[in-house]
Structure 1
Amino acid sequence: MKYAVTLLAAAVLTACGGPKQEVKPEQTVTVTQQQQQLNYPVTAKGDVVDTYFGTQVADPYRWLEDDRSSETEAWVKAQNQTTFDYLKQIPFRDQIRDKLQQAWNYERVGAPFKEGDYTYFYKNDGLQNQFVLYRQKDGGEVEVFLDPNTFSADGTTSLADIRFSRDGKLAAYAISEGGSDWRKVIVIDTETKQQIGDTLTDIKFSGIAWVGNDGFFYSSYDKPDGSELSAMTDQHKLYYHKLGTPQSADKVIFGATDEQKHRYVGASVTEDDRYLLVSAAVSTSGNKLFIKDLTQPDSGFVTILDDTSSDTDLVDNVGDTLILVTNRNAPNRKVVKVSAKAPQPESWQDLIPETEHVLRISSGAGFLFANYIVDAIAKVKQYDYDGKLVRDIALPGVGSVGGFGGKKDADTLYFSFANYITPGSIYAFEPKAGASSLYNQPKVNFDPSRYVSEQVFYTSKDGTKVPMIISYRKDLKRDGSNPTILYGYGGFNISLTPSFSVANAVWMELGGIYAVANIRGGGEYGKEWHRAGTQLQKQNVFDDFIAAAEYLQTEKYTSPAKTAVRGGSNGGLLVGAVMTQRPELFGVAIPQVGVLDMLRYHTFTAGAGWAYDYGTAEQSEDMFKYLLGYSPVHNVKAGVTYPATMITTADHDDRVVPAHSFKFAAELQDKASKATPQLIRIDVKAGHGAGMPVSMVIDQAADIYSFTLFNMGYSSLPQ
Structure 2
Amino acid sequence: MISERAGFKLGFSLGATFIFYFRRAGILLFCLGLNVACNQEKEKSRLAYPKFVAVPKTELFFGKRVEDQYYNLMDLKDPEVVAWFRAEDSLAERYFAENKLMPEYLSRFGNLENRSNQNPSRITISESGDYFYLKYDDSTKNDKLFFRSKDTSQEVELFDPLQYEDGSFQISDLSPSYDGLKIAIGLKREGEFASTFVVFDRASDELLHEVITNVNPDFGGIEWLPDGSGFIYLYFPVVDKNLPGYKKNSFSVLYKLGNKPDKRTPVFGKSTALNISDDFYPKVKISSSQDKYVIGYVASSGDFYDAYITDIEDIYLGKPNWKSFFTSEDKIYYDQGEIRGNQFIYRQAEAIGNRLCIVDLNRPNFKNPEIIAGADADDPITKFTVTKDAVYFCKSHFGVDVSLYHVDSTLNIAKLTLPFRPGYVSFFGSSSLHKNIGVGMDGWTSDFKRYYIKEDGTFELEDLVKKADYPEFDSLVSEQIMVKSYDGSDVPLSLVYKKGLQRNSKNPVFLYVYGAYGESMSPFFFPMFLDWAAQGGILAFPHVRGGGEKGEEWHVQGMKTLKHNSWKDLVACTEALVDQKWSKPGQIALYTNSAGGITAGMAVNERPDLYASFIAEVPRMNPLGLESSSTSSSTSYLEYGSVRDSLEFFGLLHMDPYQNLVPNKRYPATLLFPSYNDDRIPLWDSGKYIAKLQAYNISENPILMDIDYQYGHDTYKGNEESIVLHSKIFSFVRTNMRD
Q: Decide: shared fold, TM above 0.5.
A: yes
Q: Percent identity?
A: 22
2:398 and 2:36 mapped to 1: Cα distance?
A: 50
Distance 1:341 1:53 in 2: 49
Q: 2:89 aligns with which of 74, 80, 84?
A: 80
Inter-partner Cα distance in structure 1 for 2:231 and 2:571 = 47
The residue that corresponds to 1:94 in the other structure is: 103
CA distance in 1, matches of 2:64, 2:536: 49
Aligned to 1:611: 637
Give the Å deviation of 1:226.
5.5
The answer as to 2:145 corresponding to 1:133 is yes
Asked whether the 8 Å contact 2:183–2:200 carries over to 1, the reply is: yes
Deviation per CA, 1:604-632: give whole Å up to 9, x if none.
Answer: 67664111221122211x33233222311
Change (3 A) 1:289 1:62: same
Asked if the contact 1:234–1:606 (Cα under 8 Å) also holds between the matched residues in 2, the reply is no
Q: Which amino acid aligns with 1:245?
A: N
Aligned to 2:250: 236
How far off is 1:20 after superposition? 4.1
Residues 690 and 127 of structure 1: CA distance in aligned 2, closer, same or farther (over 3 Å): farther
Post-superposition CA distance 1:276-301 (Å, at most 9, x none): 10111454232111111113445511
Contact 1:573–1:632 under 8 Å retained in 2: yes
Are 1:251 and 2:265 an aligned pair?
A: yes
Letter in 2 for 1:53: F
Q: RMSD over aligned Cα, in angstroms?
A: 2.9
Q: 1:221 aligns with which of 236, 246, 250?
A: 236
Q: 1:659 to 1:218 in 2, by over 3 A?
A: same
TM-score between both structures, scaled by the size of structure 2: 0.87
Aligned residue for 1:373, secondary structure, equals: strand
Q: Which moved more, 1:113-122 or 1:679-688?
A: 113-122
Residue type of the alignment partner of 1:49: T
Partner of 2:155: 142
1:449 counterpart residue number: 474
Deviation at 1:214, TM superposition (A): 1.7
1:102 positional shift:
0.6
Tell whether the 8 Å contact from 1:604 to 1:657 is kept in structure 2 after alignment. no
TM superposition outliers: structure 1 runs of 4+ over 6 Å: 125-128, 149-155
Bigger mean CA deviation after superposition, 458-467 or 609-618: 609-618
Shift in Å, 1:123:
3.9
For 2:284, the equivalent position in structure 1 comes to 267
Residue of structure 1 equivalent to 2:373: 352
CA shift in 2, pair 1:604/1:102, >3 Å: farther
Answer yes or no: is the 8 Å Cα contact 1:101–1:127 preserved in 2: no
Return the alpha-carbon distance in structure 1 between the equivalents of residues 524 and 138 of structure 2.
19
Look up the match of 1:290.
Answer: 308
- In 2, are the aligned partners of 1:642 and 1:673 still within 8 Å (CA)? yes
For the residues of structure 1 that align with 2:448 and 2:154, how far apart are their CA atoms? 26
- Matched position secondary structure for 2:682: coil
Q: Counterparts of 2:158 and 2:466 in 1: how far apart (Å)?
A: 23
Return the alpha-carbon distance in structure 1 between the equivalents of residues 90 and 34 of structure 2.
11
Are the aligned partners of 2:125 and 2:428 in contact in 1 as well (CA < 8 Å)? no
Partner of residue 671, structure 2: 646
Q: Which string of whole-angstrom CA distances, capped at 9 and with x for unpartnered residues, describes residues 537-574 of structure 1?
A: 11000110001110111111111101111110111222
Distance in 2 of aligned mates of 1:676 and 1:194: 56
CA positional deviation for 1:597: 1.1
* d(CA) in 1 for partners of 2:641, 2:355: 28
Q: CA deviation at 1:75?
A: 2.0
**Amino acid across the alignment from 1:375:** F
Q: Residue 347 of structure 2 contacts residue 354 of structure 2 at CA under 8 Å; is this kept in 1?
A: yes
Give the drift of 1:146: 3.6
* Distance change in 2, residues 1:109/1:225 (3 Å): closer
Kept after mapping to 2: 8 A contact 1:176/1:691: no
Q: Secondary structure at the match of 2:31?
A: coil
Cα deviation for residue 101 of structure 1 reads: 0.5
2:599 corresponds to 1:574: yes
Using a 3 Å threshold, how does the CA distance of structure 1 residues 518 and 127 change in structure 2: closer, same or farther? farther
Q: Secondary structure at the match of 2:468?
A: coil
Partner residue of 1:14 out of 28, 49, 53? 28
- Contact 1:103/1:502 (8 A) holds in 2: yes
Secondary structure of the corresponding residue to residue 461 of structure 1 = coil
60-69 vs 101-110, which moves further? 60-69
Q: 1:373 aligns with which of 384, 387, 396?
A: 396
Q: Distance in 2 between matches of 1:632 and 1:651?
A: 20
After TM superposition, the structure 1 stretch with the greater mean CA deviation from structure 2, 290-299 or 248-257, is: 290-299
Deviation (angstroms), 1:515 = 0.6
Map residues 573-592 of structure 1 onto 2, 5 A cutoff.
Answer: 573-592=598-617
2:282/2:299 contact within 8 Å kept: yes
Shift of residue 237, structure 1, vs aligned partner = 1.4
In the alignment, the residues of structure 1 paired with residue 519 and residue 165 of structure 2 have an alpha-carbon distance, to the nearest angstrom, of 32
Count of paired positions: 695
Alignment match, 2:340: 318
Alpha-carbon distance, 1:507 to partner: 1.7
Runs (5+) with no aligned partner, structure 1: 1-9, 715-719
Could you tell me which runs of 5 or more consecutive residues in structure 2 were left unpaired when the two chains were aligned: 1-23
Is 1:394 the counterpart of 2:418 in the alignment? yes
Q: 1:413 aligns with which of 437, 450, 453?
A: 437
1:551 counterpart (567, 573, 576): 576
Give the match for residue 6 of structure 1: none
SS of 2:206 mapped into structure 1? coil
Q: Distance in 2 between matches of 1:29 and 1:511?
A: 16
Q: Report which stretch shifted further, 468-477 or 678-687.
A: 468-477
Is the Cα contact below 8 Å between 2:126 and 2:429 reproduced in 1? no
User: Please, which of 55, 66, 74 is the counterpart of residue 64 of structure 2?
Assistant: 55
Question: Residue 295 of structure 2 corresponds to which residue in structure 1?
Answer: 277
* 1:206 counterpart (190, 206, 220): 220
Q: Are the structure 2 counterparts of residues 299 and 686 from structure 1 closer, same or farther at C-alpha, using a change threshold of 3 Å?
A: closer
Aligned-residue offset at 1:315 = 3.6
In structure 2, the CA distance between the partners of 1:383 and 1:181, relative to structure 1 (3 Å rule), is farther
SS of 1:82 mapped into structure 2 = helix
Counterpart in 2 of 1:191? 203
1:11 Cα shift?
11
Q: Is the contact made by 1:231 and 1:605 (CA closer than 8 Å) also made in structure 2?
A: no
CA distance in 2, matches of 1:195, 1:428: 32
**1:135/1:580 Cα in 2 relative to 1: closer, same or farther (>3 Å)?**
same
Q: Establish whether residue 422 from structure 1 lines up as the match of residue 446 from structure 2.
A: yes
1:60 Cα deviation after fit: 3.5
* Pair 1:514-2:539 in alignment: yes
Q: Does residue 1:301 correspond to 2:333, yes or no? A: no
Q: 1:91/1:190 Cα in 2 relative to 1: closer, same or farther (>3 Å)?
A: same
Whole-angstrom distance in 2 between the partners of 1:542 and 1:112: 38
Q: Distance in 1 between matches of 2:126 and 2:474?
A: 36
Please state whether the residue corresponding to 1:700 is helix, strand or coil: helix
Distance 2:575 2:701 in 1: 21
Q: How far did residue 27 of structure 1 move?
A: 7.6
Stretch moving more, 176-185 or 464-473: 176-185
C-alpha displacement of 1:28: 4.4
In structure 2, relative to structure 1, the CA distance for the partners of 1:226 and 1:125 (3 Å cut) is closer
Q: Against the structure 1 CA distance between its residues 299 and 226, is the aligned structure 2 distance closer, same or farther, given a 3 Å change threshold?
A: closer
| Aligned equivalent of 1:623, options 637, 645, 648 | 648
SS in structure 2 opposite 1:572?
Answer: helix
